[in-house]
Chain A
């Protein structure tokens, strides 16, 4: 059940954490150690046991469809690290992050002016 270095890098990419080399090594060792202790769970007989998802003993309570949001004492503009004319802003999401390429590229797709691009095309990412 060993966790490989590659898996650690994949997991870091999913979790959007950029790890330094020494962190990768340390986490690989520590995750393996922690997970080795979890091995004893495999021996447990869980036959017929319901998984406890939400712990509440009741069903999801339902809220009436009346406009009544919890108020914000300060507007979102004061929380935002970057804000312009009423919008949160981030560097432009691009289907192809040009700065990361070594060689010339062919523009395979442009991003529509509005809407979703696939999640992993945000650029950056652990190498």
Chain B
């Protein structure tokens, strides 16, 4: 797969047909994804429709003025994004076969940018999980080692890009669900500032944390996709009244005179020392490229996981109440009363992780608990955001940390110990809580398995973190 920019340019110029491009993507999906050893990254893809879209692009080429930035680029999208022509299941029995009657704004923007959506990718059910093992339709395998998880919840999108089935994909984050699988699969993953991309049409998990983001093989590819889907949406009251950012014209500006903060709290004992070593090497490369490295402290980091695992399930317990078997989705057969419709449909439709989080969230919001749990977690969130605010106000431009404490684990390692799985998000959830952007990129391997490092930047400053990531990406290639 060639870089996104080249594909779009070549398709626009007629040097290559969109049909050929999409066909090679679809062939790769059929080869790598299906069958007993397949990756199972895709829950649905529609060859006919994708080829028809490509043919239409080939026919219409040159007729419209202005090159579309993603013309003819095959893109996969996570199956919690509502699309019109493919089902939207969220990896759940509750929405098996569900055809959304409307389309997410981000999807619409992708189409307007000329991209071809080839399929919907696998995820932990309703985006709840860090391994994609919680999908009702089987897990996705990590392309680097098919006995291991790709990470989650956007495991399908990460694997699809890592295996070269598509050059780019959309995912979503609530607590690191793009950056963590990006790290596990050795690709780039970006979570934008909260409010950068419209959430209209993203099936909600935790409304104050969810954001749609992008995967790519390179920093530039992921950034191009993010540019295309960003921007204000009147249908989303939490989307910022800001135009889509320019992330790519300054992407090669390098890191000279950039202040890179390295927080000591992100190098705890739980961090695999080999990942720590890779991080230190990356830091040296940044220094050699002209960055100023500064040790910083984000003192409330250790409260991020408990705060997150109170806030997110609480909001989720409310967001998932709409799945009640009444208006759409799965309804249990033989329900004799309305109460049965609810209880049975939800018991059959939801998997154990989803049920666990709904229970946890309902408990956190229950009468008498609010101040102790949800209320307190909101305020701890404020403290975590303040930590970042202080650091950025103090002149730090970007923060560099490991993305995950370990590399991809084997299937089944986390099933009996949910809290262990939750700890995988230890370095990623802070950005979601503080609503700041983050990007993970591959910084090396540990016993052949990819490891990721991440840059975090201040709100609305994706451009600087993309620039820093691109510089590191360049430096690591040398």
Q: Beyond A23-B355, A34-B309, A79-B327, is A122–B303 a contact (Cβ under 8 Å)?
A: no
> What are the 5 A-B residue pairs with the smallest beta carbon separation, nearest first?
A124-B339, A123-B337, A51-B378, A81-B331, A46-B379
Q: Please give, as numbers and ranges, the residues of chain A lying within 8 Å of B373 by CB-CB distance.
A: 38
Q: Which residue of A lies closest to B379 (CB)?
A: A46
Quick one: which of B300, B328, B362, B377 contacts A11, CB cutoff 8 A? B362
Q: Which of B59-91 contact A (CB under 8 A)?
A: 84
Q: Beyond A41-B376, A44-B300, A51-B379, is A34–B360 a contact (Cβ under 8 Å)?
A: yes
Question: How many A-B residue contacts, CB cutoff 8 Å?
Answer: 197
Q: Which residue of B lies closest to A88 (CB)?
A: B327
Chain B interface size, as a band, is 35 or more
Per the bound structure, the CA–CA distance linking A15 and B316 in Å amounts to 11
**B363 to A31, Cβ gap below 8 A?**
yes
Whether B359 is near chain A, meaning CB under 8 Å from some CB there, is yes
Whether B265 is near chain A, meaning CB under 8 Å from some CB there, is no
**B379 to A27, Cβ gap below 8 A?**
no
Q: Please give, as numbers and ranges, the residues of chain B lying within 8 Å of A10 by CB-CB distance.
A: 366
Per the bound structure, the CA–CA distance linking A94 and B325 in Å amounts to 18
Q: Please give, as numbers and ranges, the residues of chain B lying within 8 Å of A126 by CB-CB distance.
A: 343
Q: SS class of chain B's interface: helix, strand, loop or mixed? A: helix
Per the bound structure, the CA–CA distance linking A40 and B356 in Å amounts to 21
Per the bound structure, the CA–CA distance linking A90 and B342 in Å amounts to 10
Per the bound structure, the CA–CA distance linking A94 and B335 in Å amounts to 14
**B305 to A60, Cβ gap below 8 A?**
no
**A38 to B309, Cβ gap below 8 A?**
yes
0/1 string, A1-34, CB within 8 A of B gives 1: 0010001101110111111000100010011011
**B378 to A52, Cβ gap below 8 A?**
yes
**A17 to B234, Cβ gap below 8 A?**
no
**B306 to A49, Cβ gap below 8 A?**
no
Q: Please give, as numbers and ranges, the residues of chain A lying within 8 Å of B208 by CB-CB distance.
A: 52-55
Q: Which residue of B lies closest to A39 (CB)?
A: B306
0/1 string, B290-303, CB within 8 A of A gives 1: 00000000001011
**B346 to A49, Cβ gap below 8 A?**
no
Q: Please give, as numbers and ranges, the residues of chain A lying within 8 Å of B306 by CB-CB distance.
A: 37-38, 40-41
Per the bound structure, the CA–CA distance linking A126 and B340 in Å amounts to 9
Q: Please give, as numbers and ranges, the residues of chain B lying within 8 Å of A61 by CB-CB distance.
A: 234, 237, 241
> How far in angstroms is the closest Cβ of chain B from A6?
12
Q: Please give, as numbers and ranges, the residues of chain A lying within 8 Å of B422 by CB-CB distance.
A: 34
Quick one: which of A3, A51, A81, A92 contacts B375, CB cutoff 8 A? A51
> How far in angstroms is the closest Cβ of chain A from B153?
18
**A91 to B328, Cβ gap below 8 A?**
no
7 contacts between A and B (CB under 8 A): A35-B360, A56-B194, A72-B102, A81-B329, A91-B336, A92-B338, A124-B343
